[in-house]
Amino acid sequence: MAMASRGAAGALEASVPASPGTAGLAEAIGRMAQLVEHSRERIRLLEAVIENFPGGVSLFDQDLNMVICNQRQRTLLDYPDDLFANGYPSMEMLFRFNAERGEYGPGEVELHVARRLALVRQREAHVYERTRPNGTIVEVRGMPIDGGGFVTTYFDVTEQRRDQATIAHMAHHDALTDLPNRMLFSDRLHSAVALARRGALMAVHYLDLDKFKPVNDGFGHKAGDRLLIDVAARLRGAVRDHDTVARLGGDEFAIVQTGIAEKTDAAALASRIIDRFREPFTVAGTPFVLGLSVGIALAPGDGVTSDDLLQKADMALYRSKSGGRGTFHFFEA
């Protein structure tokens, strides 16, 4: 009888529905669990994006404390593990670390830190390039975010900048001799003429090789190219750093000589070059004397335009070649 009573009681309990409060709580907990799982999934996706970002990326909160820094940034900027031993560093700690290891160049450490913190507090987007002590060129992009904080990206642009420099160099230099070509020579001459208009003295030397054609005819163009490279080296060694030696084409060269005080300075350079060319070159293992003729025009006396000076230097060169070669002449009206 007692057992029957317990059975009836159990049946009664099973038939009693759960209270509305309990059901609502269970449903709310279920929804929260879904939201938590959804948030975790979004966090996992965000972490995957950050770690697979093609450059370094870091995020700072409104107090300028680092909250995110991917491995690529730590590798690119050579951040040691002990920098993160106590968690992520603040932006101030990071600036001080970089200043102490010379990332920002010479100067007082605290001055570097203060200057950079002041720029950050202006909360302005910025893009700049920094060349690290190891020669790596890093492009840095910073962007303030809503609510405070900063996100910064870092890209290694070293190869890109080297390629650009190589292309720019090739556009302004002779492919064979690596001397400035006609384009760069014109720019340098234009700048020198502008100074001459204000009273500075400068000279244009027009140079032409004597007996170069027999080298190409007798030894071949490869030997002729090798000879032109040696000619360029001798010309470079005869001038000062601020003078410009250019190959205008074929066996024609020119020099823009600046910073001279009088006409005799131009004569001294021409004489020095001609003397150097009296020493034989080696062509295909054979000593070969290659003469040189020079024509000189002076600015502002002979003209104050690039075309005028080149034309008059060319006329002076014609006098040198017709007068026996291996000499130099100034332009004479």
Instruction: Say whether 251 is catalytic.
Output: yes
Q: Order the strands of the 328-330 sheet from edge to edge.
A: 244-249, 252-260, 201-210, 291-299, 328-330
Residues 307, 196: contact at Cβ < 8 Å? Answer: no
The residue with tokens 């009693």 is 16
Neighbouring C-beta atoms of residue 34, cutoff 10 Å? 10
Nearest residue to 56 via CA among 64, 41, 66: 66
The DSSP string of 31-89 is: HHHHHHHHHHHHHHHHHHHHHT-SSEEEEE-TTSBEEEE-HHHHHHTT--GGGGTTSSP
* Maximum alpha-carbon separation in the chain: 146
Neighbouring C-beta atoms of residue 327, cutoff 10 Å? 17
Nearest residue to 288 via CA among 202, 229, 210: 210
**217, 251, 265, 307: the active-site residue:** 251
The residue with tokens 């293992």 is 285
CA distance 52 to 156: 15
CA distance 32 to 193: 79
**Which sequence positions are flagged as catalytic?**
251
